[in-house]
Amino acid sequence: MCSFFKAKDMGIDLGTANTLIYVKDSGIVLNEPSVIAVDADTSKILAVGADAKAMLGKAPKNISVVRPLQDGVISDFDKTADMLRTFIERAMEQKKMRNYRVAVGVPTGVTEVEKRAVEEVVRQMGATEVYILEEPMAAAIGAGLPVDGTTGCMIADIGGGTTDVAIIALGGVVASTSIRHAGDKFNEAIVQYIRKRHALLIGDRTAEELKINLGCACMDNDELGNEVIRTMNARGRDIISGLPKTLEITNKDMMIALQESMDIVIDAIKTTIEKAPPEIAADIAEKGMMLSGGGAHIYNLDKLIKKKTDMDVSIAENAFEAVALGTGKGLEDVEKLKIYTRKSRRRGTEN
């Protein structure tokens, strides 16, 4: 018989690309791709996380490898529940849990129905209290921004499925914009560019590697004014011959491939500022904004945003982990967390 124990409070960043779990007193204990592999005939779970991601694009027909979250929301409830159950068990190193509190980060634009779906998944895991916190608020808390102050602060959280931009003051989101254009769309743009420009068909994993290693929002110049070129080999299938081919890709290729995506993100930032009251906009003009999420690490994105908006832009020290850290830190003061979530629900009703 499995024994129960009182588990510690837990913060979860349930992301389209990755799921991160923060446990009180232990920090980030899990960071895994949001992927699950299931036997299509028996429904048996074969792999979850990194092991499942390694199967993407390679699995035979009898193995279903899926990402159960799309654009930041649950698209396959059952597989999300199975995946999250496995992640929580790994994080807690136990099979049975009870009486623990969970805060989950979700994108700003999700509906109340989608929030309830997320809450139901987590409650199925044995949580007695579940708090749904908007990702930009969670990211701002995790990045150490003064979210309770009278001076407005601004953050853009660029994840795998969504980019969430928010201006926050007095513990609430004053203005926000959520677009379903983020890391996954960046990968798609790279695939399409390489196909059109170089007649090479590459997979999503190769596109992601190119994004991480060469992704570039604008070029650097050397002392002579020449562009600094970096390269990386990409392997795929030649569209013309149909045979495997290796091609050298440059950071300038990446800049061109990502140009439209960068413009979309910057437009979301501008739109959010336009929604803000003048006094808050003045605070942002003085204090600048912060970037978080995996997309914050696109090289020179901060410089491009500064050039396009004339605002100071900084990158959170823990950009990739900010949402998970924020959900965990939020549980340290549950009364404040209740206020954050209550304001979120009220604003959602008003919208």
Mean pLDDT value of segment 154-182: 94
Q: What angle do CA 32, 22, 207 make, to 5 degrees?
A: 30
Closest CA to 109 of 183, 14, 176: 176
Q: DSSP characters for 159-225?
A: -SS-EEEEEEETTEEEEEEEES-SHHHHHHHHHHHHHHHH-EE--HHHHHHHHHHH-BSS--B-TTS
Contact 186, 157 (CB under 8 A): no
Residue of higher predicted confidence among 160 and 7: 160
Closest CA to 296 of 231, 238, 180, 212: 212
Contact 245, 200 (CB under 8 A): yes
Phi-psi region of 5 (alpha: psi -120 to 50; beta: other; left: phi over 0): beta
At residue 95, does pLDDT exceed 70?
A: no
At residue 301, does pLDDT exceed 60?
A: yes
- Mean pLDDT over each residue of the chain, to the nearest integer: 89
Residues whose CB is less than 8 angstroms from the CB of residue 145 and which lie 6 or more positions away in sequence, other chains included: 153, 155, 168, 290
At residue 351, does pLDDT exceed 70?
A: no
The pLDDT of residue 255 is: 97
At residue 189, does pLDDT exceed 50?
A: yes
Mean pLDDT value of segment 170-174: 91
Confidence of residue 344 (pLDDT cuts 50, 70, 90): low
At residue 192, does pLDDT exceed 90?
A: yes
Residue of higher predicted confidence among 87 and 351: 87
Other CB atoms within 10 Å distance of the CB of residue 107: 26
The structure tokens listed for 166 are: 């928010």
At residue 6, does pLDDT exceed 70?
A: no
At residue 205, does pLDDT exceed 70?
A: yes
Phi-psi region of 277 (alpha: psi -120 to 50; beta: other; left: phi over 0): beta
At residue 283, does pLDDT exceed 60?
A: yes
Q: What pTM value is reported for the model?
A: 0.89
The pLDDT of residue 7 is: 56
Position 260, amino acid: E
The pLDDT of residue 250 is: 96
Q: Give the integer Cα–Cα distance in Å for 116 and 345.
A: 12
Confidence of residue 169 (pLDDT cuts 50, 70, 90): very high
Closest CA to 115 of 127, 97, 103: 103
Query: What are the backbone dihedrals phi and psi of residue 46, each rounded to the nearest 5 degrees, phi first?
Result: -95, -35
The structure tokens listed for 332 are: 């340290």
The pLDDT of residue 42 is: 92
Residues whose CB is less than 8 angstroms from the CB of residue 306 and which lie 6 or more positions away in sequence, other chains included: 312, 313
Q: What angle do CA 237, 263, 324 make, to 5 degrees?
A: 85
Contact 147, 341 (CB under 8 A): no
The structure tokens listed for 333 are: 């003061």
pLDDT digits (tens, 9 = 90+) for 36-78: 999 999 999 999 999 999 998 888 989 999 999 888 778 888 8
Contact 165, 177 (CB under 8 A): yes
Q: Are strands 45-48 and 36-39 parallel, antiparallel or unpaired?
A: antiparallel
pLDDT digits (tens, 9 = 90+) for 233-267: 999 999 999 999 999 999 999 999 999 999 999 99
The pLDDT of residue 273 is: 95
Mean pLDDT value of segment 155-179: 94
Q: Give the integer Cα–Cα distance in Å for 270 and 180.
A: 16
Closest CA to 122 of 157, 161, 87: 87
